[in-house]
Amino acid sequence: MNRFDDLLAHAATVKDRHILDLFAADPDRAARFSAEFGSWFFDFSKTNIDAAGLKLLIDLAEKTGVAARRDAMFAGEKINETEGRAVLHMAWRNFRDTITVDGHDVMPALRDTLGRMQDFAEDVRTGRFTGQGGRITDVVNIGIGGSDLGPVMASVACTSFADGPRLHFISNVDGAHAHDVLSGLNPETTLVIVASKTFTTIETMTNAETARAWMAAKVTDPAAQFSAISTATDRTAAFGIPPERVFGFEDWVGGRYSVWSPIGLSLMIGIGPGYFAEFHAGAAAMDRHFREAPLAENLPVLLALVGIWHNQVLGHATRAVLPYEQRLARLPAYLQQLEMESNGKRVSMDGADLPWHSGPVVWGEPGTNGQHAFYQLIHQGTRVVPCEFLLAARGREPYLEHQHLLLVANCLAQSEALLRGRSLAEATEIMAKKGLTGAELDRQARHRVFPGNRPSTTLLIEVLTPFTLGGIVALYEHRVFVEGVILGINSFDQWGVELGKELALALAPVLEGSSEGAGKDGSTLGLARRIRAARA
Ligand SMILES: O=P(O)(O)OC[C@H]1O[C@](O)(CO)[C@@H](O)[C@@H]1O
């Protein structure tokens, strides 16, 4: 007996029916299978979930203790059991509450660091803090994973609110990344922020050294234009960054959940502390909703349950995230880390093999670009890809509102096409009108059939602002948490990234030729030999 049995049995009886028939049978379906909180509206009516299925899904959330686990998380219990840590990134966006860890109120220290960040951001923005060649014109954030993706994603999303220095990001250990960013900048007016929770990550530390050397070639005191964000203040000091420009945070903020913390400093400098506070406020509003709304009206819970329905129950292994909003272009990449690093686990919390599949592969691109690239497979491929559309009703450039209308029309058209499809009879009629007949008509028509009955959801906001963005990101964070609880896994560790890191360190001497690489497989050694020869 497994926790999905009831749902699997239900799905077996309904999986072949057409979602359109659900709409025909229930004129209120769109309202019944959607939920709203403040600025965020979630429509999941274009899925094969019916009232009985939804009830089973809510029962599952109840049975697996989602509410109790959520309360334990907000209470500072050490729910990240494999690392013995609390999970309290929410503390960094809600400065009204008192939050205790190990019986100690953590909020005064957070308020103090936030205040220092705000002062520093304002100093950079207003020119009170300068580079050795004058006012700071550019800020380079050096980080990777959660110390990069959150600030990049949010700074692109908040483009129309940015009035500070230009923001740049270096993440990849490929020197081309550092080269391409730094070569366009003036070291005398650039601030470098080294963002690394651990301050040991090889990519970040290597890029930080590169940036320091780049700056040292032009300014007398490179450290004076460096700032650091880390939980490891001893290491930031060893790197030579003075404590007044070091912003610490605690180990109960996971890397992929850290954009709210000092890791968001580059964003704060770009958009200013006021808009950064709105980003926090949107997320804090979503936190309150998550804590207070009944499960059946709770947006993060509903997003998670729809995900469980598609992945664990119906067996769809991937999910496409399709923002119809150019400024959410980096959201799919951000969600890839958030969801796949959190819920891509093969054992349950107690270490036993997971008896069901882990979280889905998440991928996507902004519409309408995706339409001209991979939507072909989504519409006519043999596998079903549940699609998650994100859409803002209004754009931010009034003079381009006619373009925005076209964008919105495309988004709605795609979810309608996925739902409705085009039958062979309809395709035949269209091709017959073009003059085709006989076997050729039949052949051509078959290529133009869309099976339809393909599920999608739509998350609608009125307009993209730091506030609505904050809510979207918190919504996804909590969705990942709920899915993790239902799957019985620890969403807050990431042991799966360790092996490759260790092997990379061991391979460096093989590539340099100072080690034979004893015990390595023939493929790895053969590749290393060729690379050595090419570099000689
Ligand atoms: O902030 P750090 O410590 O440099 O880590 C960067 C990233 O590396 C990871 O640990 C995975 O390799 C992520 O979880 C994290 O966001």
Q: What is the pTM of this model?
A: 0.97
> What is the predicted pLDDT for the residue at 98?
86
* Catalytically annotated residue among 63, 104, 179, 501: 501
Residues in Cβ contact with 454 at an 8 Å cutoff, skipping those fewer than 6 apart: 378, 379, 384, 385, 386, 387, 418, 419, 421
Claim to verify: residue 153 and residue 266 sit in the same structural domain: yes
Rounded CA-CA distance 266/200 in Å is: 20
What is the Å distance from ligand 1's center to 465 Cα?
A: 27
Q: What is the pLDDT of residues 201-256, one digit of tens each?
A: 999 999 999 999 999 999 999 999 999 999 898 999 999 999 999 999 999 999 99
Claim to verify: residue 447 and residue 477 sit in the same structural domain: no
Claim to verify: residue 178 and residue 146 sit in the same structural domain: yes
Rounded CA-CA distance 39/236 in Å is: 40
Is residue 392's pLDDT more than 80? yes
Please report whether residue 316 resides in a domain.
yes
Please report whether residue 79 resides in a domain.
no
Ligand 1 pocket test, candidate residues 149, 198, 230, most atoms within 8 A of CB: 198
Rounded CA-CA distance 200/42 in Å is: 40
256, two tokens: 């992929």
Claim to verify: residue 267 and residue 368 sit in the same structural domain: no
Kindly write down the DSSP assignment for every residue of 374-427, as one continuous string.
THHHHHHSSS---EEEEEESS-S-GGGHHHHHHHHHHHHHHHHHHHH-B-HHHH
Specify the 3-state DSSP secondary structure of 56.
Answer: helix
Residue 168: CB atoms within 10 Å: 20
Instruction: Tell me if residue 512 is catalytic.
Output: no
Output the domain CATH number for residue 502: 1.10.1390.10
Beta carbons of 110 and 235 less than 8 angstroms apart: no
CA distances to 112, 120, 131 from 128, in Å: 20, 9, 10
Last residue of a domain, one of 433, 454, 475: 454
Please report whether residue 328 resides in a domain.
yes
* Catalytically annotated residue among 278, 339, 341, 483: 341
Is residue 1's pLDDT more than 80? no
Beta carbons of 299 and 286 less than 8 angstroms apart: yes
- Note every long-range contact of 325-329, with CB atoms under 8 Å and residues 24 or more positions apart, other chains counting: 325/366, 325/390, 325/391, 325/392, 325/407, 325/464, 326/366, 327/156, 327/157, 327/158, 327/159, 327/160, 327/464, 328/153, 328/156, 328/157, 328/366, 328/390, 328/464, 329/156, 329/365, 329/366
Q: What is the pLDDT of residues 171-200, one digit of tens each?
A: 999 999 999 999 999 999 999 999 999 999
Beta carbons of 305 and 58 less than 8 angstroms apart: yes
Q: What is the CB < 6 Å shell around ligand 1?
A: 144-147, 196-198, 201, 204, 255-256, 341, 494, 497
Orientation of helix 5-14 relative to helix 51-63, angle to 10°: 170
Please report whether residue 70 resides in a domain.
no
Q: What is the pLDDT of residues 16-74, one digit of tens each?
A: 899 999 999 999 999 999 999 999 999 999 999 999 999 999 999 999 999 999 999 99
The pLDDT confidence band at residue 15, using thresholds 50, 70 and 90, is confident
Please report whether residue 184 resides in a domain.
yes
Claim to verify: residue 398 and residue 319 sit in the same structural domain: yes
> What is the predicted pLDDT for the residue at 481?
98
Task: Tell me how long the chain is.
Answer: 536
Claim to verify: residue 489 and residue 501 sit in the same structural domain: no
Rounded CA-CA distance 419/521 in Å is: 49
Please identify, by atom number, the ligand 1 atom nearest to the C-alpha of residue 258: 16
165, two tokens: 């220095």
Last residue of a domain, one of 400, 435, 454: 454
Please report whether residue 529 resides in a domain.
yes
Is residue 97's pLDDT more than 90? no
Residue owning the nearest CA to atom 7 of ligand 1: 145
Claim to verify: residue 504 and residue 483 sit in the same structural domain: no
Q: What is the pLDDT of residues 410-467, one digit of tens each?
A: 999 999 999 999 999 999 999 999 999 999 999 999 999 999 999 999 999 999 999 9
User: Which residues on adjacent β-strands are paired with residue 85?
Assistant: 80
Claim to verify: residue 347 and residue 387 sit in the same structural domain: yes
Output the domain CATH number for residue 206: 3.40.50.10490
What is the Å distance from ligand 1's center to 147 Cα?
A: 7
Please report whether residue 199 resides in a domain.
yes
Residues in Cβ contact with 18 at an 8 Å cutoff, skipping those fewer than 6 apart: 452, 453
Beta carbons of 470 and 279 less than 8 angstroms apart: yes
DSSP type of residue 354:
P
Number of domain units in the chain: 4
DSSP type of residue 513:
T
Claim to verify: residue 130 and residue 203 sit in the same structural domain: yes
Q: Listing from the earlier edge strand, what are the strands of the sheet with 190-195?
A: 166-170, 138-142, 190-195, 226-230, 246-248
Claim to verify: residue 439 and residue 352 sit in the same structural domain: no
Rounded CA-CA distance 517/142 in Å is: 32
- State which residues form the domain around 442: 424-454
Please identify, by atom number, the ligand 1 atom nearest to the C-alpha of residue 195: 1
Query: What element of type H or E holds 61?
Result: helix 51-63
Instruction: Tell me if residue 280 is catalytic.
Output: no
Please report whether residue 286 resides in a domain.
no
Is residue 96's pLDDT more than 90? no
What is the Å distance from ligand 1's center to 149 Cα?
A: 10
> What is the predicted pLDDT for the residue at 531?
96
Computed over every residue of the chain, the mean pLDDT equals 97
Is residue 99's pLDDT more than 80? yes
Claim to verify: residue 134 and residue 221 sit in the same structural domain: yes
Last residue of a domain, one of 218, 253, 278: 278
Beta carbons of 254 and 89 less than 8 angstroms apart: yes
Tell the burial category of 406 from Cβ atoms under 10 Å away from its Cβ (0-12, 13-18, 19+): exposed
Rounded CA-CA distance 256/473 in Å is: 11
The pLDDT confidence band at residue 521, using thresholds 50, 70 and 90, is very high
> What is the predicted pLDDT for the residue at 279?
98
> What is the predicted pLDDT for the residue at 231?
86
Claim to verify: residue 200 and residue 130 sit in the same structural domain: yes
The pLDDT confidence band at residue 147, using thresholds 50, 70 and 90, is very high
